[in-house]
Structure 1
Amino acid sequence: MSKKIGYAVVGLGVGKSHAKAAYSSENADLIAVCDLIPEKLKKAKELFPEVLTYTDFSEMLKNPDIDIVSIAVPSGDHAKLAVEALEAGKNILIEKPIDITVEAAMKIEETRVKTGKIAGVVHQNRNNANMKPMMDAIARGDFGKIYYGDFEVKWYRTQKYYDEGGWRGTWAMDGGGSLMNQAVHTVDLMQWIMGDVESITSLIGIYAHEIETEDFTASLIKFKSGAAATFVSTTNAYPGLNTGIKVYGTKGSIECDGDSILLWKREDAPEDEEETMISNYSGNSAATALDPTLCTGHTSMVEDIIAAVRDNREPQILPLEAIKSVRIVNAVYESAKTGKTIYFD
């Protein structure tokens, strides 16, 4: 039997999901966790009794049993810790966004190439069960030429959410607000579905929170294919409404809310096709009940990086791919601040 992959996590906010996935994996051992807050380490020890706990990241990296480190600290520190881990000989999985600027994210890519280690980025919504049939159908041309997309992340966050984190809603560490933090997964899906961006025109505002950045954005995006999209993000939509992913082609339309298909209409489709698609893909839980081999959420990302290290292959999402969504988010903010349309090369 091959040796299990040694796994570690730094940052026990969303990093708890990484730790749980590694702990449950048949192909890895959760070796260590690191956080600056002792109470979080205490809770981790209760969940994972054999795990080693650290408050010093550099000290944790000295552990030779660790093969992979998940980086799940505040976004503005991603590149700093990722580079340190790579230079220490560790493979890495980085939470979204890869970092808050393209320049910082490129340091990760440069260090990955220099060290030869494996670096993946978390954009787990690509593995939602409804995404594969949708992407396959679009690729086959089942919906004709895609001309328009409508994407909306209408969530709700209290002022307490921003106050407790300390770093959320700041330019220095969050890199933005509703768009960079809550909606970046959907930005990733948008560019994955619609293709390369040509231009972005945006406005942003702060309407319901005391923060530096924004709690609402609205953008018009043109793609190099000639298609267009609208994108709205907010953390003001009480009590938290939807994650709309709507794509329209010349021969059909698809509308989703997060991991659920709500509408699936095609010219000349079999009579029961829409009913079947809506029933089978009414959420990850429903799809997994039909196909227990499906792997979704953070588990899919953790299992992918474990397999990549074990098999010496590339992970699902490389740094250069993850940088695309950061470039789009930064362009939205630049457009809003300057009042100009931002053009991509």
Structure 2
Amino acid sequence: MGSGKIKFAIIGAGVIAPLHARAIQLHPEAELVAIVDSVMEKAQKLADEYSVPFIYEHIDQLLQQCDVDAVCICLPSGLHSEVTIAAAEAGKHVLCEKPLDITLANMDGMIAACRNNNVKLATVFQKRTTELAIQTRQAVKEGKLGKLVLGDAYLKYYRSPEYYKSADWRGTWEVDGGGALMNQGVHGVDIIRWIMGDVDSVFAYAAPIVRDIEVEDTAVAVVRYKNGAFGVIQGATSVNPGQEPRFEIHGEHGSIIYADSGIKLWKTLDGEEPPAASSEHKAEGSDNPQAISEDGHYILIDDLIHAIREDREPLISGEEARKSVELILAIYESARTGKEIKL
């Protein structure tokens, strides 16, 4: 690929698409050339807002008629694999919104299609780009907490009944793939697993306690990590008001607790002061799904561009993104069967 701009298309003009549009427009090496949505009015509205030249009703039209290098997939979770595979087979790189998809078979198909067609598959987990996550993971990797004993994620969001009624796919097994964990909590599930390492087994409860939906609005899981540590993952969209996501990492020699708003506790074996924040932290999306900054999306757009140019793996590859969904599916299986599930 030459030194020209990487041409992007956005597939799906819903709530998350403007974050991708802004990030692409801000990037000096990126150009947003097309929007695809089955509802043409939505595609047109987003295209007008960001001065995008082409709109299409279907991905096939985009792939046949438009010269693009990469696509951003902003569709409901259960539709990710079909579109990713079509894009990969047409030789397009893919940046897919979280979760990668909602079944292991679908995710494996996406990963294989991108590998076989020599295109990059990157995933949006923007919480991994935050200072707090990176600093915490680094401290853990460097052994600053000693042997890990506990790794907990508290992911207590609020989503109103109106939110679930706003689109017929929300809160369904078939297209949303789950509830509080698969849609909102997947970010935090990804973070705790990224910091603590892979999970060995889970035991969980999950149910719709207050919302009239088929998937869970409240879930709690006990996890055993492969390194021997234990942990708790709580996910909800039923908590009012929503709380900022919070991560608590404890080792025999120290502890780190942080939330979106900053570090709450930083005690390490070497007695170092907590790292200074270079930017102001704020809770994102705990009550309002649109209250998210595009900073993380910009970093991931930038990373994909460099992955393409340098022919390297993206920061968050398909294989890496698969792990959080595998864990959530195990939590659902445990809640359904009442058994501990080995991963």
**TM category, shorter:** over 0.9
2:320 corresponds in structure 1 to 321
1:336 corresponds in structure 2 to 335
Q: Whole-Å Cα distance in 1 between the matches of residues 227 and 52 of structure 2? A: 52
Per the normalisation by structure 2, the TM-score is 0.92
User: Is the partner of 1:242 in helix, strand or coil?
Assistant: coil
Superposed, 1:202-281 pairs within 5 Å as: 202-258=204-260, 260-267=262-269, 269-270=271-272, 273-274=273-274, 277=275, 280=278
1:91 corresponds in structure 2 to 93
Instruction: Report the more deviating stretch, 66-75 or 310-319.
Output: 310-319
Q: Do the aligned partners of 2:146 and 2:269 also contact (CA within 8 Å) in 1?
A: no
Superposed, 1:134-145 pairs within 5 Å as: 134-145=136-147
The aligned amino acid for 1:319 is G
The aligned amino acid for 1:298 is H
1:43 corresponds in structure 2 to 45
Residue ranges of structure 1 left out of the alignment (5+ in a row): 286-294
Alignment pair present for 1:12 and 2:13: yes
Q: Please report how far the alpha carbon of residue 259 of structure 1 lies from its aligned counterpart in structure 2 after TM superposition.
A: 5.8
Q: Whole-Å Cα distance in 2 between the matches of residues 268 and 303 of structure 1? A: 35
1:297 corresponds in structure 2 to 296
User: Is the partner of 1:130 in helix, strand or coil?
Assistant: helix
1:291 corresponds in structure 2 to none
Q: Do the aligned partners of 1:5 and 1:27 also contact (CA within 8 Å) in 2?
A: yes
Superposed, 1:40-79 pairs within 5 Å as: 40-79=42-81
Distance 1:220 1:53, change over 3 A: same
**Percent identity over the alignment?**
36
The aligned amino acid for 2:194 is W
The aligned amino acid for 1:318 is S
The aligned amino acid for 1:283 is H
Specify which of 121, 127, 130 is matched with residue 128 of structure 1: 130
Q: Whole-Å Cα distance in 2 between the matches of residues 96 and 49 of structure 1? A: 26
Q: Do the aligned partners of 1:79 and 1:104 also contact (CA within 8 Å) in 2?
A: yes
Distance 1:103 1:24, change over 3 A: same
Q: Please report how far the alpha carbon of residue 302 of structure 1 lies from its aligned counterpart in structure 2 after TM superposition.
A: 1.3
Q: Please report how far the alpha carbon of residue 50 of structure 1 lies from its aligned counterpart in structure 2 after TM superposition.
A: 3.8
Equivalences, count: 331
Per the normalisation by structure 1, the TM-score is 0.92
Distance 1:35 1:196, change over 3 A: same
Q: Whole-Å Cα distance in 1 between the matches of residues 25 and 136 of structure 2? A: 32
Instruction: Report the more deviating stretch, 56-65 or 243-252.
Output: 56-65
Distance 1:268 1:88, change over 3 A: closer
Residue ranges of structure 2 left out of the alignment (5+ in a row): 284-293
2:286 corresponds in structure 1 to none
2:281 corresponds in structure 1 to 283
Distance 1:259 1:316, change over 3 A: farther
Q: Please report how far the alpha carbon of residue 52 of structure 1 lies from its aligned counterpart in structure 2 after TM superposition.
A: 1.1
Q: Do the aligned partners of 1:153 and 1:186 also contact (CA within 8 Å) in 2?
A: yes
The aligned amino acid for 1:58 is D
Distance 1:79 1:279, change over 3 A: closer
Distance 1:328 1:3, change over 3 A: same
Instruction: Report the more deviating stretch, 1-10 or 101-110.
Output: 1-10
Distance 1:51 1:340, change over 3 A: same
Q: Do the aligned partners of 2:202 and 2:221 also contact (CA within 8 Å) in 1?
A: yes
